[in-house]
Amino acid sequence: MSEFLDTCQFRKFSALTVLAAALSVAHVHVAFAANVDSQKAEAGQRSSADTASTEKEQIKSFNEVLQDLVNEFAFDLRAKALNSLRTVAVRRVALGEGIPRSYESYLETQISDAFRKHSGTKVLQCTNCRIRRTVVENGRLVMTTPINNPQELDAIASQLGVEAWVDVSLLYQETSMVLGFHVFDAKSKELVWTKLYNTENIYKQKMEQKEAELAQKQSVEKEKISDYVLNTTLGWQLVPNVKDSASMLSATVRFAERFSSARHEVGTRFGFLVAPSSVLSDYPGIAGDPASSAEIVDGTSKEVILPFTKGFALSAFYSRIVSPDPLKTDGVVWGWELGAGTIVSTGYACFSVRTGAHMRMGKRFVLDVGGAYSLPTTISIRNKYKYTTPGGIGADVGFGVQF
């Protein structure tokens, strides 16, 4: 009777395994073939739908999928699912149709390694369980093993010190693989623990977890990325002045809006220009005539156009961040910039274009370098003189902080 009950338990176990696999709904397409490379996109730009599509198209080998199932079993062992058992032995390894018989020993080895590495349970090798004998019953030859004889199993369990028997089954279909475990108490024959691991459920959970992690990462990155950036710089600027280019001190405020994961910026630059002579007074040790707006030519007085000493520069720009990681804060992030605007002073205004590069060093420090070209313009002086400025090439460099 005990033998009959034990046999029925195993048949029930196999039937449950097959039924669970048959009722599974395919959510993830797993093809057990040679590995191929899948396309990768930037993490910051890949949507959750793209992630799901990539996972579905990923191709894994038979052994890789089987290892994923074993890893799920190992995870439960680390969670102390069978921590109460001190010694177990693998009694049966049942394989579905189409799986080579060689996977019996391979799967048993994988399960034994999982027990040893991820739990305190000792796995005993039951070589006597698989001994086949031929006996004559009612005039017929019958193949028998200790697995089908409860009395022999009890004797083996008592001899080896086995507390529980582990029955393993593996079923393979086109869209899924199912790994089942049934653990029976060696003395009472009661079912201690059972679980089915289905690739469809596992891969679906992994995809949902990755989508949630990606959404959380994108949310965190969005919080880190400010929609606007403001920096101020102080430096030197070569300005095409009324006659010749003049060196001037500059204080610039740069305000921009970011988009496309901080790779592009559009904004405005506003700069205040002042000649060093307007800031620094003459050294008092030498006396000299004050500056005059007139010069003497052949004994006659002639008006001279003086360069402006104060002015403003205003421009709109587009910037492209070239560095691979625009959010990096432990190095240099740089990009190029192209803008157009005007330089304005009292009675003077000219159109200018500028191109340059800006670098952020670390989190806050900014270095701006650029070159500009100002177009010729006509100015009116006292409603009496009209003078055409030549325009010319300018340059600037500034160092400051970013907010």
d(CA 59, CA 64): 10
Residues 93, 240, single domain; the answer is no
- Rounded CA-CA distance 90/124 in Å is 8
| pLDDT at position 42 over 60 | no
Q: What is the mean pLDDT of residues 113-117?
A: 91
pLDDT over 70 at 124, yes or no: yes
On whether both 398 and 334 belong to a single domain, the answer is yes
Domain with residue 320: its CATH number is 2.40.160
296 domain-assigned: no
Report the pLDDT value the prediction gives residue 131, as an integer from 0 to 100: 75
pLDDT range class, residue 282, cuts 50, 70, 90 = low
Q: Residue range 298-325: average pLDDT? A: 82
For 232, residues 6+ apart whose C-beta sits below 8 A from its C-beta are: 251, 252, 253, 254, 400, 401, 403
Tokens of 84: 């109460």
Domain boundary among 220, 241, 264: 220
Checking if the pLDDT of 1 tops 50, the result is no
pLDDT in tens, 318-372: 999 999 888 788 889 999 999 999 999 888 889 999 999 999 998 889 999 999 9
Residues 156 and 232 in one domain: no
Of 220, 245, 269, which residue constitutes the final position of a domain?
220
Question: 232 with 216, same domain?
Answer: no
Measured in whole angstroms, how far is the alpha carbon of residue 307 from the centre of its chain? 55
Banded model confidence at residue 403, pLDDT cuts 50, 70, 90: confident
| Highest averaged pLDDT of the listed ranges 205-219, 332-346, 373-387 | 332-346
Mean pLDDT of 100-127: 89
Say whether pLDDT at 181 is over 90. Answer: yes
Considering the domain boundaries, does residue 289 fall inside one? Answer: no
CA of 401: how far to CAs of 244, 329, 367, in Å? 31, 14, 8
Say if CB 231 and CB 400 are below 8 A apart.
yes
- pLDDT for the residue numbered 312: 93
Indicate whether 292 belongs to any domain: no
Residue 29 pLDDT exceeds 50: no
Q: What is the mean pLDDT of residues 192-207?
A: 87
- Asked whether the predicted pLDDT for residue 180 surpasses 60, the reply is yes
In this structure, are 47 and 108 located in the same domain?
yes
Side-chain half-sphere CA neighbours of 250 within 13 A: 30
pLDDT score, position 11: 42
| Residue 294 forms part of a structural domain | no
**Residue 370 belongs to a domain:** yes
Shared-domain flag, residues 245 and 212: no
Helix or strand (DSSP H, E) at 32: none
Residue 270 pLDDT class (50, 70, 90 cuts): very high
- Boundary-marking domain end, from 201, 220, 239: 220
Collapsed DSSP state (helix, strand, coil) of residue 248: strand
Quote the CA–CA distance of 14 and 92 in Å, as a whole number.
11
* Residues 216 and 231 occupy one common structural domain: no
Tokens of 80: 């102390």
Average pLDDT over residues 223-240: 83
- Residue 286 inside a domain? The answer is no
**Alpha-carbon gap, residue 368 to 232, rounded angstroms:** 10
pTM of the shown model = 0.45
Of the spans 117-121, 205-209, 283-287, which averages the highest pLDDT? 117-121
Least Cα distance to 396 among 187, 244, 238 occurs for 238
pLDDT at 143: 73
User: Cα–Cα distance between 22 and 6 in angstroms, integer?
Assistant: 25
Query: Domain span at residue 144?
Result: 2-220
Domains of the chain: total:
2
The reply to whether 293 falls in a domain is: no
- Residue 205 pLDDT level (bands cut at 50, 70, 90): confident
Asked if 180 and 214 sit in the same domain, the reply is: yes
Average pLDDT over all residues of the chain? 78
DSSP assignment letter at 60? B
Assigned token pair, 312: 């403003």
pLDDT at residue number 18: 35
How high is the pLDDT of residue 22? 38
pLDDT of residue 58: 54
**What does the pLDDT look like over 52-80, one tens digit per residue?**
444 444 567 888 889 989 999 999 999 88
Strands (E) across 125-244 are located at 133-137, 140-144, 164-172, 177-185, 191-198, 228-240
> Same structural domain for residues 232 and 203?
no
Residue range 104-130: mean pLDDT, rounded = 88
Residues 156 and 195 in one domain: yes
Does residue 187 sit within a domain?
yes
